[in-house]
Copies of this chain bind each other. A is one copy, B any other.
Amino acid sequence: MASLHDVARLAGVSKSTVSRVMNDEYGVKEATKVKVRRAVEQCGYVVNQVAKDLKSNKTNLIGIIVPRVTSNAVSQGVDGLSRVFEESGKQVLLANSCQQAGKELQYLELFNQKRVEGIVMFATHIDDELVKAIKRSGAPVVLIGQDGSSHNIPSVIHDDYRVGYCAAEQLHQAGCRNVGFLGVQSDDIAVDQMRFEGFCKALNYLGLPVPAFHTQGQFSIDSGREEMAQLLRDNNKPDGVFCATDRIAIGAIQAIAAAGLAPGKDIKVIGVGNDEMASVVSPGLSTFDYAFEPAGSNAAKMLLEIIEQGRSQVAKLVLGFDWVQRKSC
């Protein structure tokens, strides 16, 4: 591939002159410009950004780490992120950890070697190792989905505690008196712990008994269906179920219907996220609309501020949600 040097030789000028022409710098004779441009055309010269990056010590690169792309939260978040970054002329390096723990740490390291200017991480959990790796990172890190602000890591999260609280209120208002929670693995603070805590708090406040159950499944329809079916088999018959995600809730609805009961009548169901599927399932799933795309764009803005100003005004951004009432509750 042709370099500045090749172009210079072809045009019969020096590298410096070619560089000046390429960068539209002031002070090059028109005739020289023409010669250079012709030479560029002739050998199909494309500027080598790697060399420029090295020289300028600036890459315009942002690293993004995701557990997978096929999830509403992630894909909408990435759309939000990439829009903002590309508006500011940043390019995006994407790393997919495929949910393998430890991979994130490797990518953090790789990104630093590539001299990214900042990193956005969709976190599924936080542990000491991860916190240490983030502290060690030369490039600033912003977290999406889990709260790292107590470790002084800027984070964009959803109001998971309050969503749990509201879910309990909605179930109570719908007449439920015996409710439970279909959660996920307990090291997911945001999706399992916070939502459950808020849920329990509200129940307590409303004078309802503690949750009849708190299962720990996967993030899938199948998992929700199995968990719910198992509960019904165990004759643990609630009149309301709060599910950590919409997918789980849809599985629950299927299991309830399969057991000959009426979801939304015999057993109320509430999810979280407002996945497009929630509007399509029958009965329509009552859920909380989460701002996934804004989570991405806000995280991007925070990161840009940190990169440009050295620090961010906001240490933690908590996004609200909206109650979306349908037939399931």
Contact = CB atoms under 8 A, between A and B. Distances in A.
A95 interface: yes
A69 B59 contact: no
B1 A138 contact: yes
Contact of A92 (B51, B75, B94, B282): B94
A306 interface: no
A78 B82 contact: no
A266 to B, nearest CB: 18
A48 B54 CA distance: 9
Interface string A253-294: 000000000000000000000001101111000000000000
Interface in A5-50: 44, 46-50
Per assembly, the copies of the chain total 2
A83 B98 contact: yes
Which among A50, A53, A277 has the greatest number of chain B C-beta atoms within 10 A?
A: A50
Contact of A96 (B50, B71, B83, B112): B83
Given A53-B50, A277-B277, A75 B82 contact: no
B280 A46 contact: no
Contact of A281 (B74, B98, B280): B280
A70 B59 contact: no
